[in-house]
Amino acid sequence: MTELTKLRKRLHKNPELSGSESATASIIKKELEFCKPDEILENLGGSGIAASFKAKYSSTKKSLIFRAELDAIAVEEETNLPYSSANPGVMHGCGHDGHMTILVGLARELKKKRPENVNVHLLFQPAEETGKGAENVLVDKRFKQLNPGHAFALHNLPGYKEGLIYIKDGTFAAASTGIEISFQGSYSHAAYPEQGKNPALIVAELISEIEHRLADFKQADELNKIVCTFIRMGEPAFGISPGKATVGYTIRSATDEGLKSGVQKIEHLIKKAAESFSGDITYRSVEPFRATVNSTEGVQIVKAAAEECSIEVQSLEKSFPWSEDFGQFRDACPITIFGLGAGEHVPPLHSETYDFNDKLISTGVTVFSEIIEQYS
Ligand SMILES: [Zn+2]
Ligand SMILES: [Zn+2]
């Protein structure tokens, strides 16, 4: 087993949830220190770490970011692997253990051979899964000093041919947001429902209204989706008329503008429902993700790098309906993310039997290294 595979398995065994990745960050910091970067920034937007390798021959301001994610997900692992999660209820079910290992592999390459005409920053960001991490990194004042000209990232793709690169110009992954709708009525004895304000009917009406009134939105684009993800109201009892309810929705679209128009339609329906309910209805946006939109130039660079390394590239016809908080980095610079096929018949991301395919580590390191050459 190579050192990188060992590191990947160590990370896999010690997963941490979004926003509390301190142990992971300290493992990564040690690995990076070994590679002697010019600078390491810690606690970026939380537990984030960035290692900077300055250009060897020039005082260029040109900078590249490669991004990996530190966080795991709240799923009980059922892989029965010898290195399966030692942290109950938390697992590396998205392969971020692999993505981190690839960046550490790139750091090892940069230790051997400094970038020549571009500064390279390896960014390990916190809290990707909640959509908060990239935003927190971006508002951290120290992020500005990295001054990125372009940011690259990859995501492993179970269900796709092993070792192939999958890329798309424009939207790679959808914009999305959760909407949490809170109904505040009042409780009463079920024998005297008239003494309380039971939200059951208004909940049912609003769900039905959203379904019907947003049919156009859903039909307008394949990526436009609205899904009711939870309804919470009352207890499994028969003597109480409930006084509170919470309903969750996830809404998705190919563009930030498309998402905004869908959200506005829902907001309008919520306000209308509030007028006909004797209690209060409020709502808030939860876990918003911008659309992850690839730069045309970046896509060309990835394609050229792959060709140079004899790695097959397939252009994706459709954007992914899931979201990626890498899209947020568009606030700082053009971005490009590509998929790395993890094999066609393996468990999907976020499933309890998923595991990162270690064969992708060397492919990832090779492509990222070549991207630096192509960008310089
Ligand atoms: Zn994920
Ligand atoms: Zn992920």
Residue 321 CA, ligand 2 centroid: distance in Å = 13
Block mean pLDDT (10 aa), the chain, length 376: 94 98 98 97 97 88 95 97 98 98 98 94 97 95 94 98 98 97 98 98 98 96 95 96 98 96 97 97 96 97 98 96 95 97 97 98 98 92
Domain boundaries, the chain: 3-174+291-375, 175-288
Residue 16 CA, ligand 1 centroid: distance in Å = 13
3-state secondary structure of 72: strand
Any idea which ligand is nearest the CA of 339? 2
3-174+291-375 folds as: Aminopeptidase (3.40.630)
Q: Which residues surround ligand 1, an ion (CB under 5 A)?
A: 94
CA distance 19 to 71: 8
> What pLDDT is stored for residue 56 in this prediction?
86
> What pLDDT is stored for residue 376 in this prediction?
80
> What pLDDT is stored for residue 60 in this prediction?
80
Q: What is the CATH number of domain 175-288?
A: 3.30.70.360
Any idea which ligand is nearest the CA of 130? 1
CA distance 302 to 330: 17
Residue 337 CA, ligand 2 centroid: distance in Å = 12
> What pLDDT is stored for residue 57 in this prediction?
79
CA distance 202 to 303: 52
Residue 220 CA, ligand 1 centroid: distance in Å = 27
How many CB atoms sit inside 10 A of residue 314's CB? 14
Q: Which residues surround ligand 2, an ion (CB under 5 A)?
A: 94
> What pLDDT is stored for residue 1 in this prediction?
63
Any idea which ligand is nearest the CA of 154? 2
**Pick from 41, 96, 33, 108: nearest CA to 69:** 96
Structure tokens at 195: 């003494």
Any idea which ligand is nearest the CA of 349? 1
Give the predicted TM-score (pTM) of the model. 0.91
Residue 272 CA, ligand 1 centroid: distance in Å = 35
Residue 252 CA, ligand 1 centroid: distance in Å = 16
Q: Count of residues for the chain?
A: 376
Residue 48 CA, ligand 1 centroid: distance in Å = 17
